[in-house]
């Protein structure tokens, strides 16, 4: 495998230089360039079928390397080539789109936006495939490997379900391998078993028709910023629970077995707080641990808020409008499409007289999803990860991923079970300044992928 | 007086084209240009002494036209030549710095930022002085008229007190005539008797060191936007009272006589709500009328709020910081310097664990002030306004101004009583898009000034 490490580094470096930010329409050409670059890299790796699939938004990349054995299982790797915005840019130690190697306490790191989320996780499959062929002496992989790498994951994958439906036949598979997550720690082999869903919303409150002089009108007409503050302050109760009526109705309670499995994951809360969070206190829903709060419980988060005068100096106004962006993380069996109506009804019931409210929820959203802990494919994954970490399959722990992706769509449209194989770490600062990947984790990911194709190739899943 | 109307229009037009926005440092050269322009206009009007007085911020303009009679009273006119910012620019029907004449229901209007606040109010004194000399056939005014027109009123007049102290001797006077207010309605002659004070503040809350992925950290660490919403929601109680401990301690209660005088001012609340406010409901401190809430009671207003991701699309983060700009309107005998410590103590007592708070209160602030309703100078003002409106002094009503200016500094540093003579209207949209002046009100202001110099000239105030 070491033969191809230089390829991996050169490839990842070039790819990370492309600022494929899908949330900002100004970067649409860069997202397209990222897709074209990936397609070319897959061709160089040897994939005989590589196609760029357009969507009404950003393009996806599809590739396929059929196994010579006609009855070999088919594995579909899912990832994404778009990245998060980078603001605030001044907090980046190295420019976000100039990948920079840094020696860290756990080994060499590569710093860049997308270093792990998700270009690093996709890139290790290129190396993994080469390693698999080299180790087994084969010309074609032991399983038919398909890749579907979308370009809108960081924007909520608005066109992904339609893309799956459109290309259902080409995407047919026996197992989906999601490569957009990670492991509990550098020395802790683990497999994700669930991801949370996501629903975004934007609230706009309107009061006066124009910004008013606060000396003439202040204290005598409703101020939309006051109304927004009251609304958002009431979004959680004093137990840290979300107050939208009906929000918890479909939440599947955590079983004792699941809580026991999660408690085995080594987790140093103080170290976690001291990491990217640099936070001095935990906070959250009463009665749940931090790992449960981030992995297994739904949340409501205000992601942005603005209104009135925010420039230099002071402007003594009662502003006309106030705005907030919110996101809700969901767990099985909540449905993202339920959140909009719940939020809309709650806002309408809680805005004061004289304030007009508008709640916008973009279509789509992301459903939560979970793996079957006892399936044969899960057995293959645990063996592959164990081999990559030189340990037993029984030492591979189960974790839950607090983030969201369109994994539930894959299950729903392709009818295949989910496995998760990712090389990220909780300390990788994804979505934050100074995102990084720990390079030894990337190599482990590639090794695990190489083993996984061999393990799955020995099975007959149909 | 009509001879000089063309001069007034040409002068005001040219002056309003200068965007003298003092709150934004980028406009400092324009504020300086505004001062230079005013100095030249005062020289053209005939003032023998005209000087530009620098400050550490924006320059002020001083002018003096001595009366030939050595024992004539000295009147000092106060106004300002800086203006408010114009955002949001897209709401202006006419460009804010291209003065545009519009025919309105009450007569011709001039639309521009500063049209009344305060360039219109200052400009009518140029016409008033010419009219006074023409009507009395004098070469010098019946009182020594001084003008002090500052350039930082819309930024809280941070250097005004020091300027008064520095030029105390040159500014010595028997009465101060504040021209930065207005009247109750076009057909309602009235005199302002009090202005509110002002204290600005900015709150910064800090949580995580960087923006965090809401899937990994959301619901498990404190979110500064949630903390800010809770804080600002708690700034008022359910009676609309400000909750800062000690805030009301120095408030002088309204006497029954004052409440009775205020209740005589014609006020159509529905029309007021339908005006620039375009608000569907009043709001405010329980137990007080709208005119009392805006004129005679202190308030706390959030003027701006921001934090997290506010760009296009969605970014699922727990943001590192949250910010709010606040202003407090104060009434006699509150002190602006008390607000910072009160706010700071309250914020510190109310931020949740894991959130760090910083409260910034710019030095200075504005003290509240009030006139003596029974002074001889007030008698002269009521007669002058009565004459300008062809009515009796007893028909001139008393009002209170909800806005703030450095009037209390004038009282404190110069030891002279305050009169208010202004041509604004509550419907002039000051500080908002489409600010205007009703031109007939400007002419009335000039007439009243001409009468006032004659009335005061007949007195010996020392």
B9 min Cα distance to partner chain A (Å): 26
Average pLDDT over residues A305-322: 94
Residues B443 and B316 in one domain: no
Residues A184 and A202 in one domain: no
Coil/strand/helix, residue B434? coil
Mean pLDDT is lowest, of A99-108, A150-159, A449-458, for A150-159
pLDDT band at A65 (very low <50, low <70, confident <90, very high): very high
Choose the final residue of a domain: A323, A340, A360: A360
Would you say residue B262 lies in a domain?
A: no
Residues 81-100 (A) with a CB less than 8 A from some CB of B: 84-85, 87-88, 91
Could you tell me the CA-to-CA distances from A315 to B16, B242, B339, B402, B426 in Å, in that order? 20, 20, 18, 15, 19
Distance of CA A397 to the CA centre of its chain: 20
Residue-level pLDDT at B260:
84
CB–CB of A327 and B214 under 8 A?
Answer: yes
Would you say residue A293 lies in a domain?
A: no
Coil/strand/helix, residue A103? strand
Would you say residue A395 lies in a domain?
A: yes
Residues B205 and B344 in one domain: yes
* B214 Cβ contact partners less than 8 Å away, ≥ 6 residues apart: A299, A301, A303, A327, A329, A431, B316, B317, B318
Could you tell me the CA-to-CA distances from B457 to A392, B130, B146, B374, B380 in Å, in that order? 103, 16, 14, 19, 10
CB–CB of B215 and A221 under 8 A?
Answer: no
Which residue in chain A has the smallest CA separation from B312? A24
CB–CB of B210 and A434 under 8 A?
Answer: yes
Residues A48 and A133 in one domain: yes
Would you say residue A56 lies in a domain?
A: yes
B303-354 per-position pLDDT tens digit: 999 999 999 888 889 999 999 999 999 998 999 999 999 999 999 999 999 9
pLDDT band at A2 (very low <50, low <70, confident <90, very high): low
A282 touches chain B (CB under 8 A): yes
Residues from chain B contacting residue A303 (CB–CB below 8 Å) = 214, 225, 308-309, 314-319
Residues from chain A contacting residue B235 (CB–CB below 8 Å) = 226, 229
Interface A:B, Cβ pairs < 8 A: 369
Average pLDDT over residues A102-123: 97
Task: Tell me how many degrees the CA angle B240-B244-B249 measures, rounded to the nearest 5.
Answer: 95
Residues A10 and A146 in one domain: yes
Residues A238 and A178 in one domain: no
CATH code assigned at A331? 3.30.70.360
Choose the final residue of a domain: A360, A383, A408: A360
Residue-level pLDDT at B3:
67
* A149 Cβ contact partners less than 8 Å away, ≥ 6 residues apart: A35, A38, A60, A61, A62, A77, A78, A79, A80, A81, A122
How far apart are alpha carbons B21 and B38 in whole angstroms? 15
Would you say residue A256 lies in a domain?
A: no
Among B22, B226, B353, select the one facing A302 at the smallest CB separation: B226
A255 touches chain B (CB under 8 A): no
Among B23, B232, B307, select the one facing A314 at the smallest CB separation: B23
* A229 Cβ contact partners less than 8 Å away, ≥ 6 residues apart: B228, B229, B230, B231, B232, B233, B235, B302, B305
Could you tell me the CA-to-CA distances from A106 to A109, A428, A438, B12, B360 in Å, in that order? 8, 12, 8, 70, 41
Residue-level pLDDT at B174:
96
User: Residues A456, A11: contact at Cβ < 8 Å?
Assistant: no
Phi, psi of A200 (to 5 degrees): -100, 155
Residues B355 and B379 in one domain: no
Q: Quick one: tokens of A111?
A: 């710093």
Residues 327-366 (A) with a CB less than 8 A from some CB of B: 327, 329, 352-354, 356, 362
Residues A205 and A181 in one domain: no
Find the helix or strand (DSSP H, E) in which A291 lies.
helix A290-295
Look up the domain containing B146 and give its range: 2-196+368-457
Coil/strand/helix, residue A61? strand
B384-399 per-position pLDDT tens digit: 999 999 999 988 998 9
Residues from chain B contacting residue A293 (CB–CB below 8 Å) = 219-220
Average pLDDT over residues A326-353: 96
A354-363 per-position pLDDT tens digit: 999 999 998 8
Would you say residue B288 lies in a domain?
A: no
Residues from chain B contacting residue A323 (CB–CB below 8 Å) = 310
Choose the final residue of a domain: B311, B344, B360: B360
Residue-level pLDDT at A3:
67
Residue with the bigger pLDDT between B272 and A321: it is A321
CB–CB of B219 and A284 under 8 A?
Answer: yes
Question: Total structural domains in chain B?
Answer: 2
User: Helices A439-457 and A119-136: crossing angle, nearest 10°?
Assistant: 50
Residues from chain A contacting residue B208 (CB–CB below 8 Å) = 276-279
CB–CB of B240 and A219 under 8 A?
Answer: yes
Q: What percent of chain A shows pLDDT beyond 90?
A: 77
User: Residues A242, B219: contact at Cβ < 8 Å?
Assistant: no
CB–CB of A216 and B317 under 8 A?
Answer: no
How far apart are alpha carbons A344 and A337 in whole angstroms? 12
Average pLDDT value over all residues in chain A: 93
CB–CB of B210 and A401 under 8 A?
Answer: no
Residues A234 and A98 in one domain: no
Residue-level pLDDT at A176:
97
Q: Quick one: tokens of A345?
A: 């009804």
Residue-level pLDDT at A257:
77
Substitution target in A91, A239, A314, A425 with the highest count of B β-carbons within 10 Å is: A314
Residues B375 and B399 in one domain: yes
Residues A52 and A121 in one domain: yes
Residue-level pLDDT at A1:
57
A209-263 per-position pLDDT tens digit: 889 989 889 999 999 999 999 999 999 999 999 999 999 999 988 888 778 878 8
Say if residue A333 is preceded by a cis peptide, omega within 30 of 0: yes
Q: What is the DSSP string of A125-161?
A: HHHHHHHHHHHHT-SS-SSEEEEEEES-GGGT-TTHH
CB–CB of B25 and A312 under 8 A?
Answer: yes
Residues 138-177 (A) with a CB less than 8 A from some CB of B: 155-156
B285 touches chain A (CB under 8 A): yes
Residues 422-461 (B) with a CB less than 8 A from some CB of A: 426, 429-434
* pLDDT > 70? residue A399: yes
Among B209, B306, B318, select the one facing A310 at the smallest CB separation: B306
Mean pLDDT is lowest, of A297-301, A344-348, B414-418, for B414-418
Residue-level pLDDT at A16:
98
How far apart are alpha carbons A339 and A323 in whole angstroms? 18
Would you say residue B281 lies in a domain?
A: no
CB–CB of B219 and A329 under 8 A?
Answer: yes
How far apart are alpha carbons A210 and A193 in whole angstroms? 51
Q: pLDDT digit of tens for each residue in chain B (462 aa)?
A: 556 788 888 889 999 999 999 999 999 999 999 999 999 999 999 999 999 999 999 999 999 999 999 999 999 999 999 999 998 899 999 999 999 999 999 999 999 999 999 999 999 999 999 999 999 999 999 999 999 999 999 987 889 999 999 999 999 999 999 999 999 889 889 999 999 999 999 999 999 988 998 888 999 999 999 999 999 999 999 999 999 999 999 998 888 877 887 888 888 899 888 887 777 789 999 999 999 999 999 999 999 999 999 998 888 899 999 999 999 999 989 999 999 999 999 999 999 999 999 999 988 788 999 888 888 999 999 999 999 999 999 889 989 988 888 888 898 899 999 999 999 998 899 988 999 999 999 999 999 999 999 999 999 877
How far apart are alpha carbons A19 and A35 in whole angstroms? 12
Residue-level pLDDT at A43:
97
Torsion region of A415: left, alpha or beta (phi above 0 gives left; psi -120 to 50 gives alpha):
left
Would you say residue A390 lies in a domain?
A: yes
Residues 300-319 (B) with a CB less than 8 A from some CB of A: 300-319
Q: Quick one: tokens of A171?
A: 């995407």
Residue-level pLDDT at B1:
57
Residues A158 and A42 in one domain: yes
pLDDT band at A6 (very low <50, low <70, confident <90, very high): confident
CATH code assigned at B437? 3.40.630.10
């Amino acid at each position: 495998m070491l033969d191809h490490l230089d390829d991996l580094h050169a490839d990842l470096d070039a790819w990370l230089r492309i600022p494929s930010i899908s949330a900002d329409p100004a970067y649409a050409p860069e997202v397209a360039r990222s897709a074209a670059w990936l397609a070319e890299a897959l061709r160089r790796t040897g994939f005989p079928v590589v196609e760029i699939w357009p969507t009404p938004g950003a393009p996806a990349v599809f590739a396929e390397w059929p196994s010579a054995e006609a009855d070999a299982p088919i594995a579909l790797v899912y990832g994404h080539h778009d990245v998060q915005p980078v603001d605030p840019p001044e907090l980046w130690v190295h420019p976000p789109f100039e990948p920079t190697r840094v020696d860290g306490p756990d080994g060499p790191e590569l710093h860049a936006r997308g270093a792990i989320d998700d270009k690093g996780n996709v890139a290790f499959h290129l190396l993994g495939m080469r390693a698999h062929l080299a180790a087994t002496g084969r010309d074609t992989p032991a399983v038919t490997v398909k890749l579907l790498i979308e370009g809108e994951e960081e924007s909520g994958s608005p066109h992904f379900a339609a893309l799956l439906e459109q290309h259902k036949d080409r995407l047919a598979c026996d197992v989906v391998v999601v490569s957009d997550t990670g492991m509990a720690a550098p020395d802790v082999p683990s497999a994700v078993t669930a991801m949370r869903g996501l629903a975004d919303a934007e609230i706009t409150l309107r009061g006066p028709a124009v910004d008013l002089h606060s000396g003439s009108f202040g204290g005598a007409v409703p101020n939309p910023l006051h109304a927004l503050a009251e609304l958002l302050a009431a979004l959680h109760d004093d137990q840290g629970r979300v107050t939208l009526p009906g929000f918890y109705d479909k939440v599947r309670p955590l079983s004792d077995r699941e809580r026991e499995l999660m408690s085995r994951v080594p987790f140093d809360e103080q170290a976690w707080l001291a990491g990217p969070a640099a936070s001095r206190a935990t906070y959250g829903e009463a009665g749940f641990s931090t790992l449960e709060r981030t992995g297994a419980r739904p949340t409501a988060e205000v992601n942005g808020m603005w209104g009135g005068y925010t420039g230099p100096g002071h402007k003594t106004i009662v502003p006309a409008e106030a705005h907030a962006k919110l996101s809700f993380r969901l767990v099985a069996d909540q449905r993202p499409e339920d959140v909009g109506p719940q939020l809309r009804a709650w806002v309408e019931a809680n805005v004061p007289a004289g304030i007009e409210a508008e709640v916008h929820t973009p279509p789509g959203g992301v459903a939560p999803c979970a793996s079957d802990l006892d399936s044969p494919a899960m057995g293959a994954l645990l063996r592959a990860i164990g081999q990559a970490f030189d340990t037993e399959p029984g030492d591979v722990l189960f974790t839950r991923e607090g983030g969201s992706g369109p994994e539930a769509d894959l299950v729903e449209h392709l009818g295949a079970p989910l496995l998760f194989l990712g090389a990220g770490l909780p300390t990788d600062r994804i979505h934050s300044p100074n995102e990084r990947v720990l390079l030894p984790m990337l190599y482990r990911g590639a090794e695990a992928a190489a083993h996984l194709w061999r393990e799955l190739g020995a099975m007959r899943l149909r």
